[in-house]
């Protein structure tokens, strides 16, 4: 069935600073996820806290927000067939040690916090996250 979706992807500071942006983008485009929008930005800790507020009760929340705002990131709108799930599969498990071979986190992730990429986990959150970074 035809189910073209959009999802939000972020290349996190650990991967941007290691110049992995183009390699990661190639993984998306080689797997039929088109990059509709892309911008390199450096967000504040307050913005990161807003973006990750679903995690506000978690013990790692403060470090996570500090980390996402610690350096430039690349935010992208990916579009393609079942894009939300397709992106999650390409990313691999949250902990790079548990991620499958050839996934982005297995290839490039350093640790559970420096795991190179973010991806929306549902179509509903994808809409919210795209709106967060690409309102007008
Ligand atoms: N995270 C962390 N420690 C943990 C779990 C998660 O630092 O024990 C970070 C990690 O960078 C992860 C992000 O918090 O990507 C969001 O967590 P989530 O469970 O939503 O994982 P994801 O959807 O990114 O796979
Ligand atoms: Mg998540």
| Domains, the chain, ordered by start | 4-42+72-133 (3.30.70.141)
**Which pTM was predicted?**
0.98
* Å from CA of 121 to ligand 2 middle: 6
The whole-number pLDDT of residue 136 equals 65
Over the Cα atoms of the chain, what is R_g? 14
Closest CA to 71 of 117, 12, 13: 13
Q: pLDDT-based confidence at 135, cuts 50/70/90? A: confident
* Å from CA of 68 to ligand 2 middle: 13
pLDDT digits (tens, 9 = 90+) for 49-96: 999 999 999 999 999 999 999 999 999 999 999 999 999 999 999 999
Residues catalogued as catalytic:
118
Contact assessment for residue 85 and residue 7, using Cβ atoms and an 8 Å cutoff: no
Q: pLDDT-based confidence at 1, cuts 50/70/90? A: confident
């Amino acid at each position: 069935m035809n189910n073209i979706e959009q999802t939000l992807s972020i290349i996190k500071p650990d991967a941007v600073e290691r110049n992995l942006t183009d390699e990661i983008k190639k993984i998306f485009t080689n797997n039929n996820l088109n990059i509709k929008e892309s911008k390199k930005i450096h967000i504040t800790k307050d913005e990161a806290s807003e973006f990750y507020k679903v995690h506000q009760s978690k013990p790692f929340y403060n470090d996570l927000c500090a980390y996402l705002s610690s350096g430039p990131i690349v935010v992208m709108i990916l579009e393609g067939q079942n894009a939300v799930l397709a992106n999650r599969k390409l990313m691999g498990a949250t902990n790079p040690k548990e991620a499958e071979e050839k996934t982005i986190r297995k290839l490039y992730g350093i640790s559970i916090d420096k795991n190179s990429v973010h991806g929306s986990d549902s179509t509903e959150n994808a809409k919210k996250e795209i709106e967060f970074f690409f309102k007008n």
